[in-house]
């Protein structure tokens, strides 16, 4: 397993995507709950974007960890 600057940068970028996505999902759920309480319905766009960013972050971590376990060239 190799841990170079590229792998660490990929993990950091993936972490940023995950934190941002989860924060947007939570904000979107809070807004959707508030809107539903007022009589309207529907899913907020902020929550959908948050789910997308969370998936992107998870895929970034997955790909980065795959790069970390690839054996070095001889």
Listed by start position, the domains of the chain span 5-69
Q: What local confidence, expressed as pLDDT, does residue 7 receive?
A: 87
Regions of the chain short of the pLDDT cut 70: 1, 33-43, 72-74
User: Which residues, in sequence order, are CB contacts of 30 under 8 Å at separation 6+?
Assistant: none
1: exposed, middle or buried (Cβ count in 10 Å: 0-12, 13-18, 19+): exposed
* 26-37 residue pLDDT tens: 888 877 766 655
Give dist(CA 2, CA 10) in Å, integer.
13
Q: What local confidence, expressed as pLDDT, does residue 14 receive?
A: 94
Q: What local confidence, expressed as pLDDT, does residue 59 receive?
A: 95
């Amino acid at each position: 397993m190799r841990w170079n600057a590229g792998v660490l940068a990929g993990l950091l970028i993936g972490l940023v995507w995950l934190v941002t996505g989860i924060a947007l999902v939570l904000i979107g759920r809070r807004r959707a709950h508030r809107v539903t309480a007022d009589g309207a319905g529907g899913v907020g766009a902020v929550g959908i974007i948050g789910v997308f960013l969370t998936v992107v972050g998870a895929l970034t971590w997955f790909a980065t960890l795959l790069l970390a376990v690839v054996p070095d060239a001889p």
